[in-house]
Amino acid sequence: MREAAVHADHPHTPSKSERYARLRADVEALVAGEDDWLANLANVAAAVYAALPGLNWAGFYLMRGGALVVGPFQGLPACVRIEVGRGVCGAAAQERATHIVRDVHAFPGHIACDPRSRSEIVVPVIVDGVVVAVLDLDSDRLAHFDEEDRSGLEALVLDLTTAVDWDRARRV
Ligand code: SME
């Protein structure tokens, strides 16, 4: 009883790694047994947005017909099409590597969808050697994303490579 009262007075603020562990477990439960890619990606975008503090946009761009096209997301309406090689999303897709941008205004070619965005992380989703999508997170805080975000999001994205029907998701 006494212990519970203490916890109630000082609620535990989860660490970043705790947040990512919980997020991965939540996502696993959300997509388990569901093969509708749209339902799954919509719920993943919502789960990410709800689980991580400091975000103003979180969601997917899907590789369709050779360009990235906006998919399920949370946040303000975003630019619909991004050519591979353009912006942070296009750079991550082209280089097949996670991009962490501490100051979007200093990134040449950054595509501003929400003027509040100050920093960004983009993780490519690679299935059978092919970039099928990117997961994009924006923050209104400068230098919000770090190596813990990289490893947490890369692990989440790796889970999604088998949990989501990417063949259907990419069909134009
Ligand atoms: N800033 C991204 C565009 C997508 S929005 O942030 C949602 C980019 O430069 O690719």
Domain boundaries, the chain: 16-171
| pLDDT band, very low/low/confident/very high, at 158 (cuts 50, 70, 90) | very high
Mean pLDDT of 11-28: 94
The answer to whether the beta carbons of residues 164 and 40 sit under 8 Å apart is: yes
Q: What is the pTM of this model?
A: 0.93
pLDDT score recorded for residue 71: 97
Q: Which CATH architecture has domain 16-171?
A: 2-Layer Sandwich (3.30)
| Ligand 1 pocket, CB under 6 A | 57, 78-79, 82, 87-90, 110-111, 113, 117, 120, 136, 138
Minimum mean pLDDT range among 5-9, 74-78, 84-88, 94-98: 5-9
d(CA 137, CA 56): 8
The candidate with the shortest Cα–Cα distance to 136, out of 61, 56, 31, 26, is: 61
Give the closest residue (by CA) to ligand 1 atom 2: 111
| pLDDT band, very low/low/confident/very high, at 171 (cuts 50, 70, 90) | confident
Query: Does 4 score more than 60 pLDDT?
Result: no
88 Cα to the center of ligand 1, angstroms: 6
Give the closest residue (by CA) to ligand 1 atom 5: 113
| pLDDT band, very low/low/confident/very high, at 118 (cuts 50, 70, 90) | very high
